[in-house]
Amino acid sequence: MWKKIRAADVDAAKGQLSRKRTETLRTQAEELESLDAQLRDIDTFERVVAAFFEEYMNEARLCASVSEQSTAASLSDPDEPCTQAPQNEPSLALQIRQSILPSF
């Protein structure tokens, strides 16, 4: 099978492996860079959601408690926006209404 292995053959094999190793490391670095970017995107999204929750959901709870207190004191209009909500933003005191259509 093997007639003779020369030093040049060994050097050629080393060169091939070296090039393959370099290409593998480059590809791995690109993939890691891509994964790191995706993780940064997820972290950014998580911070945005947390900030949204902190700003709007805590305000909604405050509005709900204010609404409950005012309802207990006097019967108020359920469509009336929360007095704590800013005037130029939609009310966070959301209500769900169910409309049942008559049967045909």
pLDDT reported for residue 85: 47
* 25-30 mean pLDDT: 98
Q: Among residues 89, 87, 91, which one has the least CA distance to residue 78? A: 91
Q: What's the Cα-to-Cα distance from 40 to each of 28, 43, 44, 59, 98, rounded to whole Å?
A: 18, 5, 6, 28, 41
Q: Among residues 84, 95, 97, which one has the least CA distance to residue 58? A: 84
| 8-23 per-position pLDDT tens digit | 999 999 999 999 999 9
Q: Is this model's pTM higher than 0.85 or not?
A: no
Q: Is residue 92 classed exposed, middle or buried when 0-12, 13-18 and 19+ CB atoms within 10 A define those classes?
A: buried
Of 5-9, 20-24, 27-31, 83-87, the poorest mean pLDDT is in 83-87
Query: In the predicted model, is pLDDT for residue 7 greater than 70?
Result: yes
